[in-house]
Amino acid sequence: MGNKFEIYQIGTVEKQGGETIIKICKKYKEALLGLDGFSHMIVCYWFHKNDTPEQRRILQVYPKGHRYNPLTGVFATCSPVRPNLLAISICKILSIEDTTIRIDDIDALDQTPVIDIKPYVPHMHSKTDHIKVPEWIMPK
């Protein structure tokens, strides 16, 4: 255990004037071929604002930052603090022009590094049978 891996930034989330785009690095332009055939994509990005040794050591949080929720391990939450600061969002593709992907929204900050994109394929990525979630996950 304790292996290190190299992850390369492939683009950046940009939020400006109510618009959200993902700007892909020019050298990865060819990797976008065919993505326009999908309505949605899975975006993997890095919680770069939390990338400190202290933040990476946090293993338990109160979900959604609310102390009325039970103390929970980060692997059972979507918390932005965790040992590896990976985040994943499913985003609707509004348009793709050159290396700019305009999307509906993403739970990421402006200038967040994007590390991968995958097409969203419902029969592969949606699991609807016997889904169970804790009570605190439901909106209050």
CATH number, domain with residue 114: 2.40.30.70
- Are 79 and 90 in the same domain? no
pLDDT on residue 134: 84
Q: Please count the structural domains in the chain.
A: 2
pLDDT on residue 39: 96
- Are 39 and 91 in the same domain? yes
pLDDT on residue 135: 81
Q: Are 69 and 77 in contact (CB under 8 A)?
A: no
The answer to whether position 134 is within a domain reads: no
pLDDT on residue 109: 93
pTM of the model: 0.86
**Can you tell me whether residue 65 is helix, strand or coil?**
helix
pLDDT in tens, the chain (140 residues): 778 889 999 999 999 889 999 999 999 999 999 999 999 999 999 999 888 889 899 999 998 878 888 999 999 998 888 999 999 999 999 999 999 999 999 999 999 999 999 999 987 767 677 777 788 877 66
The answer to whether position 107 is within a domain reads: yes
- Are 91 and 116 in the same domain? yes
Name which of 21, 53, 52, 49 is nearest 117 in CA terms: 21
Where does 5-62 show beta strands of DSSP type E?
A: 11-16, 19-24, 40-46, 60-61
The answer to whether position 14 is within a domain reads: yes
Structural domain of residue 24, as residue ranges?
10-47+86-122
